[in-house]
Amino acid sequence: MKIVDAKVVVTSPGRNFVTLKITTDEGISGLGDATLNGRELAVASYLQDHVAPLLVGIDPHRIEDTWQSLYRGAYWRRGPVTMAAIAAVDVALWDIKAKAAGLPLYQLLGGASRERVGTYGHANGQDIPELFDSIRARMAEGYPAIRIQTGIPGLKTVYGVHHSAGATAVPHQQARPVVEDWDTAAYLRHIPTVFEAVRNEFGPELPLLHDAHHRLTPIQAAQLGKDLEPYRLFWLEDCTPAEDQDGLRLVRRHTTTPLAIGEVFNSVYDYQTLVSEKLIDYVRSAVTHFGGVSPLKKLFDFAAQHQIKSAIHGPEDISPVGMAAAIHLDLAIHNFGIQEYAGYTPLTDEVFPHAYTFTDGYLHPGEAPGIGVELDEDLAAAHGYEAAYLPVNRLLDGTVHDW
């Protein structure tokens, strides 16, 4: 079998997605997700201009060799743009191999280690009554675990509560990120009271998560972890920017609140200290941002030696193609922890018809050969790229802060 074509489709059925479609001389094609929120066109160009020409003529069964040649051959290693591009190739080749074998991808990854894939959903509220309503809505949908985010008194907009910039109607050179505001002291005072209220209302059993979105220093993260211990979180996510891996040693020394990190990481090297020193409990990278199924499986195997579990990033800005790849991996690996799942707009599900299912809070990849996702190219073309950026975060004095 030989690759005869590789093309990139950028579509915005509500938000932007970048998809790579690889076609072979035997009529089998494969899809990979290369969506990098707010930097979509950079990855599209990386793929279209620099990777697609290299793929034509090669044997699509040689997944590892292709991965290594794209990673090592570019000379310039790692980074989100490169690794999202390589991820799309890796997943598209796995899709082709599994279709050629007539098997769903999870069968090639070792087969099912469980019946279904547990998820967590997002509950958000500007205040506590609104948050309670949102928690009830997620519970009614069947989610077995729930991430809670709230507004902070005195702050207009904070992460998770207001929807981010979204698509704008302006020409793309004029699009600008919205600005959110931030006050760490107010946040650290408020969040434990939110968890107390939620535990009082919903009891001790509901697994609860919270995302601090890289906003705290290590000692602030340690304080928050300690303050939240009575509420027995499933995890505290991205408590401090973890490119400073040493910082997690300090957090870990002070709190037993479980820690999850890694959605912005794109290489196993980002995790070396965190995993080998058992400084975290869950690794959060997405198939789409980590170079694909091949390297993420290796990360999970490394994490398993240290009793660390998987928790693949699954926001709305991973396409259904990236989500499907994640679900196959979730079903197959032994050290599965949980899968983030926010769901998609009906139009997105139409652009990407898929075999995976979400039932009563649990995902299953389905039994279609490959990853089980198709791309409706006509519908995709009818919804072209729309410039949109993630917000920028500023302290009350105007200083840029982590988002």
The β-bridge partners of 123 are: 148
Measured from the CB atom, is 99 or 214 closer to ligand EZ4?
214
**One residue of 33, 90, 183, 211 binding ligand EZ4 per CB under 6 A:** 211
- Pair of tokens at residue 225: 């972890």
Contact 291, 86 (CB under 8 A): yes
Catalytic residue chosen out of the listed positions 122, 210, 213, 214: 213
Q: Which residues pair with 210 in a beta bridge?
A: 236
Q: By C-beta, is 211 or 270 nearer to Co ion?
A: 211
Residues of this chain, 232-271, that bind Co ion according to CB under 5 A: 263
Closest CA relative to residue 243, chosen from 261, 224, 222: 261
Instruction: Give the nearest distance from C-beta 174 to ligand EZ4 in angstroms.
Output: 21
Candidate list 263, 281, 330, 386; residue touching ligand EZ4; CB under 6 A:
263
386 is an interface residue for ligand EZ4 by CB under 6 A: no
Q: How far is the CB of 392 from ligand EZ4 (least distance, A)?
A: 13
What is the residue type of 71? Y
Buried b (16+ CB within 10 A) or exposed e, 156-188: ebbbbbeebbeeeeeeeeebeeeebbbbbeebb
Residues 6+ apart with CB under 8 A from 392: 177, 178, 179, 180, 400, 403
Of 221 and 368, the one with the shorter C-beta distance to ligand EZ4 is 221
How far is residue 180's CA from residue 109's CA, in Å, rounded to a whole number? Answer: 42
- Taking CB under 5 A as the rule, does residue 340 contact Co ion? no
The 44-73 contact track toward ligand EZ4, x by CB under 6 A, reads ------------------------------
Residue number, 365 or 391, with CB nearest to ligand EZ4? 391
| Least distance between ligand EZ4 and beta carbon 315 (Å) | 4
Minimum CB separation from ligand EZ4 for residue 166, in Å? 12
Binding to ligand EZ4 by CB under 6 A, coded x per residue (else -) over 322-361, reads: ------------------x---------------------
Between the alpha carbon of residue 306 and those of residues 22, 235, 276, 334, the distances in Å are 36, 17, 7, 13
Q: What mask of x and - would describe binding to ligand EZ4 in positions 7 to 36, judged by CB under 6 A?
A: ------------------------------
330 counts as binding Co ion under rule CB under 5 A:
no
- CB 100: neighbour CB atoms within 10 A? 17
- Are 290 and 83 in contact, with CB atoms under 8 Å apart? yes
Q: Which is nearer to ligand EZ4, 1 or 390 (CB)?
A: 390
Element (H, E) at 24: strand 17-24
159 is catalytic: yes
- Restricting to residues 173-212, name those near Co ion by CB under 5 A: 211
- The DSSP code for 271 is G
Contact residue for ligand EZ4 among 186, 390, 394, 401 (CB under 6 A): 390
d(CA 287, CA 323): 8
Cβ of residue 120: shortest distance to Co ion, in angstroms? 11
Residues 159 and 370: beta-carbon distance below 8 Å: no
> How far is the C-alpha of 120 from the C-alpha of 112, rounded, in Å?
20
Q: What is the largest CA-CA distance in the chain?
A: 62
Considering only residues 90, 183, 317, 386, which one is a binding residue for ligand EZ4 as defined by CB under 6 A?
Answer: 317
Residues near Co ion (CB under 5 A) are 211, 263
What positions carry a catalytic annotation?
A: 159, 213
Residues near ligand EZ4 (CB under 6 A) are 37, 211, 213, 263, 315, 317, 340, 390
